[in-house]
Every structure is written in C-alpha cells, then in structure tokens.
Structure 1
Amino acid sequence: ENVENNLNDCCSGSWRVQECVWGSPGEATDWGDVTDMGQGWDFIVGSDLIYSDASTPHLLKTLQHSMDEKTSFLLSFELRREKDLDFLRNISKCGFAFQKIPENELHPVWQAEEI
C-alpha cells in the first residue's frame, strides 16, 4: 500500500516489496533462513537498515548477491553513531560506490525536525 501511495502516473513497470532476512542464500540465521531476493533488480530501496553492528555484514552479503552492474541501491538512514560509517567503508571495499545527497537537496516533506 505504501508503494502504491507513493507512485504516480509517471512511474510504470513492476515492483515488489518483501521482508528480507539478510545473508547469503542457503544460510540459516537466528532470524530464519536467508531470503534469496534473486538478481536483475534496477533498484533496491532500504530505509533505516543500519542499526546493529552484527547485522550489517549480512546486509552486505545480501547486496553482493542481489545486485549487478545495473542495480542502484538507495539507502536512507540517520547517522546516529560514528561506527555506522563502517558500513559505508565496507561497501566501498567491496567495490560499491556511494554518494551522500546534500541536505539542501532533500525534499522537506520527507525530513523530520526531531531527528
């Protein structure tokens, strides 16, 4: 429902929203069996995924499996701790590039003053 509410007439094509247990497909974790999201995605979108030092290596494994050269990963998160930057350093070491969007380019509707 959230995706439908945020799409407009200019956005056509297909999309899928699903819960995902991070890691390498075939692994079992404390959270359940790892989700195989497949490959061939144009975009993978995540919000507030950086919250646990123990979970971010599993997120990185999921991205390595699910992304190819044409996939863009859009991540939104609040930098709460300096340690959270480790995830960005680790994705760089794995060959991913990232870019921070300057605050003045963020849409004001999607910002919260209390954060």
Structure 2
Amino acid sequence: MLSEYSKDGGGKGEEELEESEMLEVEGLGLYKGKVRIVRSEEAAEEIMLLWGLQQPILSKHNVFVHQSSPQLHIDACGRSLSILQSPSSLGTPGVTGAVMWDSGVVLGKFLEHAVECRKVLLQEKKVVELGSGCGLVGCITALLGADVVLTDLPDRLRLLKKNVVANLYGDVRGSAIVKELTWGDDLDQDLHYPLPDYVLGSDVIYSEQAVMDLLATLLDLCGTHTTVMLAGELRNDAILEYFLEAALKDFIVGCINQEQWHPDYRSQRVVIYIMVKK
C-alpha cells in the first residue's frame, strides 16, 4: 500500500497518483523514505531515464567486490564480515550466486543505512531473500534484527550455509535459516505462512525466463503488507524493461533515489526498486 505522500500530508489512492504530476512520494509499503513512482504505462520511459541519467556503461564495473578473490571483506553492523566466494564457478554455464556483485553490497549497506535513519524497521520482521547467493544481504538483515530465510537453488546452498555460520555468531539481534527455493515452484508452508514483511533480492533480473519465474514467486510470497526491495545491475535494458512491464501489472513499483543510499556505497551501475502488491 502507499504511505502518506501528498503535499498536505494526506494519502492518495493509486488512481489519483496516476493523475497527479507528482512522481515522488513519501513512503511506499514499509519503507518510509522518498520513492519515485514508476507509472504503469512508463516501463520504456523508465529505462530511457535510467540509462540517460546514470549512464551505467560509462561507470566502473564491480567497484565494491573482487570476484577473483576467494573472500570478500566488508564492515557492517559493527562487525567485519567475511564472505566466501567461488570464483572458479563464475564461468560455468547456468551457475549463479557463486560470487558477489555490487548490487548485493549496495543493497546490504542501504538496509543498514535505512535502519539507522529510521526509514526501515527490521527488528522482529519476517524477511525472505530470493537468490541469496553468497549470503551477504541476508546476513546483514539478520544482524539488523530480522528473522531471515535465505533461499537459493540446491547447488548454491553449501556456500550459502558456510557464510551464514561464519558471520552470524554470538549476539545476533535476529536469526537466519537457509532453505532451498526454485522460483516458480510451490512454496513450502513455512515460507508462505505467515507471509513475509519484506522480500529482498539482488541481481535477480537476468533473463526473460527468470523474470517470469521470479514474478510468480513474488506473487505467491507477497501479501498486501509485504514490501519487496530489489537491487540490480544495470547491464541489460531489454530484460529490465521486460521485468517492469510484467511487474507493473500486479505491483506498484518505485525507484529509490541514490541520495537515500549509504553515502559510501553508491554506484551508477545499480538501481534499487521497491514494490508492493496492488
């Protein structure tokens, strides 16, 4: 649902929003910061805007990660996290989640910053992360107080579990478990009941088939109270446009401006979208 965002402090419905000239709203779903709404007929215009403003192909690739390294070290939530990677798997066809991408680092640090700024409350919230990969985002989310279910394909779980055990030790405000999940398949009951407060994903939009399976899972996971946050690498404009066109049929979609990200973790090659079910 849309939070209050009109100039006089009142809320508007989706129909009024589409008729308004104001594109930026105060809050969407459980997120309390500013959001630029993507209108249902403007997927192509959104792509032109992103590529025009951010010019991702002119920006440096992998600023925050080193994919050739077996480990990624990053400070978050008062800890020094050490995330194992599998660089040897990077070139294997069909294998995903073996290494970190900038979008995962950006999303994790965005959540930390948003909690500090009180724009996001994660304490005791149920969170499901899709395509957890190496697990950085899920680990940070658990350290911020959420009860997190990190999910990925069966062949990715071994590395994911290692990183959860290695980084979530001692006094952790939240909790984390690892579960197998193939997008498009039926959900296990513990994922579906109760429905999560948040669904997170980074670098999960990468092919047309993956888009349809991802959206099918999002529709199954989301109730009207669920807030989806997806961070992605700006590398394929056609696939992102395809995703937005499909997502806008069932979700209100907004883009979070980089001014609200962690000041030290911003990239012109990354975008963060927030979604709530219509």
TM-score interval for Structure 1 and Structure 2 normalised by the shorter chain: 0.7 to 0.9
Structure 1 counterpart of 2:145, one-letter code: S
Q: TM-score, normalization: structure 1?
A: 0.73
In 1, the alpha carbon distance for the partners of 2:207 and 2:139 equals 30
In 2, the alpha carbon distance for the partners of 1:114 and 1:90 equals 22
In 1, the alpha carbon distance for the partners of 2:139 and 2:236 equals 33
5+ residue gaps, structure 1: 26-34
Q: Deviations over 1:1-24 (max 9, x none)?
A: 74445655xx43522212221004
Q: TM-score, normalization: structure 2?
A: 0.33
Task: Indicate the residue corresponding to 1:16 in structure 2.
Answer: 149
Question: Which structure: greater strand fraction?
Answer: 2
In 2, the alpha carbon distance for the partners of 1:50 and 1:21 equals 15
Matched, 1:111 2:259: no
In 1, the alpha carbon distance for the partners of 2:209 and 2:261 equals 29
User: Contact 1:60 / 1:91 at 8 angstroms: preserved in 2?
Assistant: yes
User: Contact 1:23 / 1:62 at 8 angstroms: preserved in 2?
Assistant: yes
* Aligned-pair identity (%): 25
Q: Deviations over 1:68-105 (max 9, x none)?
A: 000001100022222112211211112x1111111222
Among 244, 248, 254, the residue aligned to 1:88:
244
5+ residue gaps, structure 2: 1-134, 153-180, 271-278
After alignment, is 12-21 or 61-70 more displaced? 12-21
In 1, the alpha carbon distance for the partners of 2:140 and 2:260 equals 22
Task: Indicate the residue corresponding to 1:38 in structure 2.
Answer: 192
Structure 1 counterpart of 2:232, one-letter code: F
Compute the RMSD of aligned alpha carbons.
2.4
User: Contact 1:46 / 1:74 at 8 angstroms: preserved in 2?
Assistant: yes
Change in CA separation of 1:5 and 1:43 when aligned onto 2, cut-off 3 Å = closer
1:62 shift after superposition: 0.2
Change in CA separation of 1:113 and 1:75 when aligned onto 2, cut-off 3 Å = closer
Q: Deviations over 1:32-59 (max 9, x none)?
A: xxx5432410001100001111211000
Task: Indicate the residue corresponding to 1:70 in structure 2.
Answer: 225
Change in CA separation of 1:51 and 1:114 when aligned onto 2, cut-off 3 Å = closer
Change in CA separation of 1:101 and 1:38 when aligned onto 2, cut-off 3 Å = same
